[in-house]
A and B are shown apart, each in its own frame.
Chain A
């Protein structure tokens, strides 16, 4: 238990579906992150939020839309995804640079 909870753990969706991934942290951290982990590729940073404000968008396609309503919650809204978007999506939080990861949401796009 890392203090970062992600739901759902597994998601299968078609290319025309709209779905959302949710992340909640119970650590009182100010920064939250979305990372993408694909097979045989490094963890790729997608978005960074500090104090609910987006501070980094790492050239992510607009079919991924983040939302951070408060410092404890982070969402990733998914729309018209492609099969190559199938991956493990990891949420993390931090206070002083050390990342605490959630278990991830395994996404499969058909």
Chain B
């Protein structure tokens, strides 16, 4: 089975840094994805980690530790438009299916 946990809500200030954590216990692992979903819109791809370490992409970075079943998404220089839900998802061994966590709703305040 798959169990993926992330905080339900977080609040941060414009210009600050925020870290969104995700822990997982899965029967198989073949990569971890982060998606961003604005209210009323489709989830969009942010990052993908399959090996341990940090992947940096502009203001967003994602970290993975497979031994700890842990990932985080780091958002720097927060902007108001970063207010959204952030979804952590684990891919199965066959590579065909993603199982999602409940999502973290991030509110960025001025």
Q: Considering the chains assembled together, what is the distance between the CA atoms of A2 and B33 in angstroms? A: 17
Number of interface residues of A (CB under 8 A): 23
Contact A101/B44 with A42-B4, A43-B87 known, Cβ cut-off 8 Å: yes
Q: Which residues of A contact B (CB under 8 A)?
A: 2, 4, 31, 40-43, 45, 48, 50, 55-56, 90, 94, 96-104
Picked from A42, A98, A103, the residue with its CB within 8 Å of the CB of B41 is A103
Number of interface residues of B (CB under 8 A): 24
Q: Considering the chains assembled together, what is the distance between the CA atoms of A90 and B8 in angstroms? A: 21
Interface residue? B30 (CB, 8 A): yes
Contact, CB under 8 Å: A99 / B96 = no
- Residue pairs across A and B with Cβ atoms less than 8 A apart, 18 shown, are A2-B42, A31-B96, A42-B4, A42-B99, A42-B103, A43-B87, A43-B100, A48-B96, A48-B97, A90-B42, A94-B96, A97-B31, A97-B33, A99-B33, A99-B89, A101-B42, A101-B44, A103-B42
Interface residue? B95 (CB, 8 A): yes
Q: Considering the chains assembled together, what is the distance between the CA atoms of A22 and B45 in angstroms? A: 22
Q: Which residues of B contact A (CB under 8 A)?
A: 4, 8, 30-31, 33, 35, 41-45, 48, 87, 89, 91, 95-103
Q: Determine the chain A residues whose CB is within 8 A of the CB of B95 once the complex forms.
A: 96-97
Contact, CB under 8 Å: B102 / A42 = yes
Q: Determine the chain B residues whose CB is within 8 A of the CB of A102 once the complex forms.
A: 42
Contact, CB under 8 Å: B99 / A45 = yes
Contact, CB under 8 Å: A97 / B100 = no
Picked from B42, B43, B99, B102, the residue with its CB within 8 Å of the CB of A41 is B102
Contact, CB under 8 Å: A50 / B96 = yes
Q: Determine the chain B residues whose CB is within 8 A of the CB of A99 once the complex forms.
A: 33, 35, 43, 45, 89, 98
Q: Determine the chain A residues whose CB is within 8 A of the CB of B87 once the complex forms.
A: 43
Q: Considering the chains assembled together, what is the distance between the CA atoms of A40 and B103 in angstroms? A: 9
